[in-house]
Amino acid sequence: MKVPEEIIIDLVKNIAGSDTVKLLHVLLKARKNVSEFKIAEKLGISVNAVRNMIYRLQEYNLVSFTRKKDAVKGWYIYFWAFNVPKAVGLIEDMKKKSIEKNEYELEHIEDTRLYVCKPCRTKVSEEEALESQFFCESCGEILEEQDAAKRRRELNRILKKDREHYKISSELLTKHKAAESKKLEKALAKEKEEKDAARAEAKALKKAEKEKEALKEGKVVKKAAKKTTKKAAKKTTKKAAKKTTKKTAKKTTKKATSKKKVEKEKTIKEPKKKKGFLGKLLKSKK
């Protein structure tokens, strides 16, 4: 945020006193936070005097700090920075109120007779001045009637400057806010982009994993299927082989037994035949 220094100097003078302006210059010149010891050294004043000024600015949140622990001494060292956008916001706010107040006074300057105490700048109505017998209740000095024409000139001078500062700060704030919201938008867009990318990546990874798994399972299934068919085939062939061997064995044994039987039968029959024959022979011989 690039701000005309004069409007910030004016603000700091008004709220924290003229002595703070030199501190402001040190803070505005520095690109990063400045240690309070360095400020004291630069201004040729004590650290306590620096802190006193800083606290006056801190009341309006115009300064921020970082701190570092001193490795040797063990205490914290504070590093200060001036908050320019906050200051501009404060200028806009204060100038707006000041303009309203002074415009009102200018409008009514002819209707009211005011009495002022020059040393302490107290201002009272004619009624109040009569009550205190034209003595200032704060410091005891004599009250003087305000010169309306003089006051009008003064008010106009103040109003001119206030309006100027208000315009500058208001424009700066609008720009600053637009830039900030743009930054935020950009950051959000980037965040969304990153999230989307991460999500897409995770999705792709999941898909790849699923495919891999599916492929593996498919192979396993196929392999298993092959194995089982092979096994089954083996089994069936084995079984078939067994069956056939059994069958052939049975057959051969059957055949063998039947042959044996036949042979037996033959052997049985033959003697019978022989017997018969012999018997016949014998019979015939007989």
How far is residue 167 from each of residues 88, 90, 156, 162, 172, measured CA to CA in Å? 11, 13, 16, 8, 8
Q: Tell me: does residue 228 bind Zn ion (CB under 5 A).
A: no
User: SS3 of 189, please?
Assistant: helix
- What are 232's two structure tokens? 């089954």
DSSP annotation of 81: E
Identity at 278, one-letter amino acid code: L
d(CA 259, CA 263): 6
Q: Tell me: does residue 138 bind Zn ion (CB under 5 A).
A: yes
As measured in angstroms, the least distance from the Cβ of 128 to Zn ion is: 13
As measured in angstroms, the least distance from the Cβ of 153 to Zn ion is: 23
Q: Which is nearer to Zn ion, 34 or 117 (CB)?
A: 117
As measured in angstroms, the least distance from the Cβ of 143 to Zn ion is: 8
d(CA 263, CA 55): 135
Range 101-130, binding Zn ion (CB under 5 A): 117, 120, 122
What is the chain's alpha carbon radius of gyration, rounded to the nearest angstrom?
Answer: 58
Q: Which is nearer to Zn ion, 139 or 188 (CB)?
A: 139
Q: Which is nearer to Zn ion, 120 or 241 (CB)?
A: 120
As measured in angstroms, the least distance from the Cβ of 102 to Zn ion is: 21
Q: Tell me: does residue 142 bind Zn ion (CB under 5 A).
A: no
Stretch that binds Zn ion, among 1-9, 53-61, 135-143, 217-225 (CB under 5 A): 135-143
Strand partners, 70: none
Total of residues contacting Zn ion (CB under 5 A): 7
Strand partners, 122: 117
Residues near Zn ion (CB under 5 A)? 117, 120, 122, 136, 138-139, 141
